[in-house]
Amino acid sequence: MPDTPDPERTSGTLLGFDFGTRKIGVAVGQTLTGTATPLETLELVNHKPDWVRIEQLINEWQPQALVVGLPLDVDDSETDATQPALRFSRQLEGRFHLTVHLADERFTSFEARDRLGHRAKRLEDYDAVAAKLILETWFNER
């Protein structure tokens, strides 16, 4: 298998995911500018990620890597959402053979609600914005 480009050293596209037990927010980001844009929110299908739509997004955007938000508590301990998010990240890596990075997602949902306020057309808008914030967190940590 060819070497995967290191997104920290090259410019390219990444997809970010805010994994939840009912919905998954998705955003796209550019390593060159360190910016991200919310894309959409996916509903789970039979309590599982919408793998068909995720594959479509990966084919459309051709990311060099993926970033998944890692839910942690304020004291760095795991939350009830930590293990499901880790499982999702492993599934992404196994299915699509892309490097999956984890980014601290503490407070991203709160910040997304704060940023959108009453402007959110639907509750789902928050999840895609949270995915954007997860990507931006990952960029800023580099």
What distance in Å separates the CA atoms of residue 45 and residue 64, rounded to the nearest whole number? Answer: 26
Its pTM stands at: 0.82
The structural domains of the chain, with segments of one domain joined by +, span 13-73+86-140
In degrees and rounded to multiples of 5, residue 82 shows phi and psi of: -65, -55
Closest by alpha carbon to 63, among 20, 19, 11? Answer: 11
| Res 120 pLDDT > 90 | no
What distance in Å separates the CA atoms of residue 33 and residue 36, rounded to the nearest whole number? Answer: 9
| Res 123 pLDDT > 70 | no
Q: How many CA atoms lie within 13 A of 93 on its CB side?
A: 13
- Residues of the chain above pLDDT 90, percent: 61
Residue 5 is predicted with a pLDDT of: 46
CATH architecture of 13-73+86-140: 2-Layer Sandwich (3.30)
Candidate from 2-11, 22-31, 46-55 with smallest mean pLDDT: 2-11
| Res 96 pLDDT > 50 | yes
| Res 1 pLDDT > 50 | no
Q: Which pLDDT band, with edges at 50, 70 and 90, does 42 fall under? A: very high
Q: Which pLDDT band, with edges at 50, 70 and 90, does 10 fall under? A: low
Calculate mean pLDDT across residues 82-93. Answer: 96
- Residues of the chain above pLDDT 70, percent: 79
What distance in Å separates the CA atoms of residue 82 and residue 19, rounded to the nearest whole number? Answer: 10
Q: At how many degrees (to 10) do helices 124-140 and 108-116 cross?
A: 120
Q: Which pLDDT band, with edges at 50, 70 and 90, does 2 fall under? A: very low
Residue 7 is predicted with a pLDDT of: 43
Mean pLDDT of the chain: 84
